[in-house]
Amino acid sequence: MATPSLVDGESAAASLFDGETAAREVRVFSDPDELAEAAADLVLEAAQEAIAARGAFRIALAGGSTPRRLYQKLAALAASREKGTGALSSDPSAASAMSGTETDTIPGIDAETKVRDSGASPASARFEAWHVFFGDERFVPPDHPDSNYRMAREALLDHVGIPAAQVHRIEADAGSPGEVAKRYAATISREFDLRAGELPRFDLVLLGMGADGHTASLFPGTTALDAAPGETVVCTWVEKLSAWRVTLTFEVINAARLIVFVLSGPEKLVAFGSVLHGTASLPAAKVRPADGSLVFLVEEGVLPRAAR
Kindly list the residues in this chain that would bind ligand 6PG in the complex (CB under 6 A): 62-66, 135-136, 138, 148, 208-210, 214-217, 265
Which of 75/152 has CB closer to ligand 6PG? 152
CB of 265 vs ligand 6PG, minimal distance in Å: 6
Rounded to an integer, what distance in angstroms lies between the CA atom of residue 130 and that of residue 160?
A: 10
CB of 144 vs ligand 6PG, minimal distance in Å: 12
CB of 48 vs ligand 6PG, minimal distance in Å: 25
Q: Which of 220, 208, 195 is nearest to 267 (CA)?
A: 208
CB of 68 vs ligand 6PG, minimal distance in Å: 8
Q: Which of 201, 197, 181, 182 is nearest to 46 (CA)?
A: 201
Taking CA 144 as the corner, what is the angle to CA 141 and CA 147, rounded to the nearest 5 degrees? 80
Which of 85/242 has CB closer to ligand 6PG? 242
Which of 3/148 has CB closer to ligand 6PG? 148
Which of 37/49 has CB closer to ligand 6PG? 37
- Determine the distance from the C-alpha atom of residue 163 to the mean position of all C-alpha atoms in its chain, rounded to a whole number: 21
Which of 283/292 has CB closer to ligand 6PG? 283
DSSP E strand stretches across the chain: 24-29, 57-61, 104-105, 130-134, 136-138, 204-207, 233-238, 243-248, 258-263, 293-299
CB of 128 vs ligand 6PG, minimal distance in Å: 26
Residue nearest ligand 6PG by beta-carbon distance = 208
Rounded to an integer, what distance in angstroms lies between the CA atom of residue 207 and that of residue 214?
A: 10
